[in-house]
Amino acid sequence: MRFLLLFAFCLIAEYIFIESFFRLGGIISSIGWLVSIMFILSFFVMMTFFRRKSNDYRIAFYAFGLMIFSSVPALFYLIPGLLFLFFDNPVFALIGWALAALIAFGIFLGIVVGRWNWKVHTISPKFNNLPEFLKGKRIVQISDIHVGSFFGNKKRVRKAIQMINNQNPDYVFFTGDLVNNTADEMDEWVDIFSEINASNGKFSILGNHDYGDYVQWKNEDEKRQNFEKLTRIHDKIGFVLLRNESIKLGENTWLLGVENWGKPPFRQSGDLNKTLSNIPEQDFKILLSHDPSHFDEKVEGKTSISLTLSGHTHGMQFGIERFGIKWSPVSFKYSKWAGLYKESDQFLYVNRGFGYLGFPGRVGIYPEITVMEF
């Protein structure tokens, strides 16, 4: 229902946007026709992609990008556009078009530049119970690679992996969503992601996209084989995949990794009780859990886990983190959607994602490599 209401609202904004061009007539009306064609064409291409259940994302992603490029500026035009249509004063239209053009330019930059603009975020959370073993250690976290979205841009991705290695991490933790849908997406990328270095080890978990739940398989056996291949790929690129498991990193220090646990409709395969079994209550624990909603529902105030690392939200790949402002539309769904959060003595860090999904760009919320210094 929420999606339908949002879609209806977008259609109304699009109508007002286009109608304003037609109202002024002349050559300006041709812009209205162009925007209309862009919106209708992109919508048609996307629907065709979903009906075919194809794994070739390129056409659908760029169709979605075209839809965003033609519709989001209309949302920012809405209020000036209504004033123009009501008062018939072209000044309001000019103000609205200037605002829409600015947003359109930002979206264009997000597609061309933003999705490749990796940022290193360095944090130093302070713990009262930090063990001696972790003092001085550097941990890199990456999340949401979505390798099927990179479309063979190996040179750019290799640049980001070099950025990871330049941090000289003791550990690298990957918090899920290696692929968009199928293990085959990783076939041409194994060598490149094997280049990630960590002096003491690399560990990973699964995200909601790693199970093949969003693919129309011929049968369950085909889905199972895909999943088994994906788990083997983690080993091929040098990561220890934790599936509701724990591993002792050092004295009084444990790493926990759960399978995906999210609020419906996302799967809840994570078993935190099983993962915590046989771990001393007083020891320091780091949890890898893909979906940050797991922290609020199962971790905070219910366990002695000191640090949880998550991803999943991508910061919706759209928002603002400047001038003391931190906002994204994804904040309406996730109260903890990017960066460091503290509840009592427990920390959660939500990584903004290494890759992208759906919209082939990032506007204001850039791909992230997280560095934790202890």
Token pair, residue 215, equals 């693919």
Average pLDDT, the chain: 90
Contact 73, 96 (CB under 8 A): no
Distant-in-sequence, close-in-space partners of 299: CB < 8 Å, separation ≥ 6:
272, 287, 289, 305, 308, 346, 348
> In this predicted model, what pLDDT tens digit does every residue of 76-129 receive, in sequence order?
888 888 898 888 888 898 898 899 889 989 999 999 999 999 999 999 999 999
According to the model, what pLDDT value does residue 16 have? 78
Alpha carbons 212 and 183: distance in angstroms, whole number: 8
User: 47-51, 322-326, 370-374 — which one is most confidently predicted on average?
Assistant: 370-374
Confidence of residue 67 (pLDDT cuts 50, 70, 90): confident
According to the model, what pLDDT value does residue 60 have? 76
Q: Provide the 8-state DSSP code for 175.
A: -
Contact 291, 348 (CB under 8 A): no
The strand order across the sheet containing 284-288 reads 245-250, 253-257, 284-288, 307-310, 346-350, 339-343
According to the model, what pLDDT value does residue 30 have? 66
According to the model, what pLDDT value does residue 90 have? 84
Does residue 6 surpass a pLDDT of 80?
no
Does residue 295 surpass a pLDDT of 60?
yes
At 156, is the secondary structure helix, strand, or coil?
Answer: helix
Mean pLDDT of 367-374: 97
366 or 49, which is more confident? 366
Contact 349, 310 (CB under 8 A): yes
- Other Cβ atoms less than 10 A from the Cβ of 76: the count is 18
According to the model, what pLDDT value does residue 182 have? 94
> In this predicted model, what pLDDT tens digit does every residue of 158-208 receive, in sequence order?
999 999 999 999 999 999 999 999 999 999 999 999 999 999 999 999 999
Tell me the domains of the chain and their CATH numbers. Answer: 2-112 (no CATH), 120-373 (3.60.21.10)
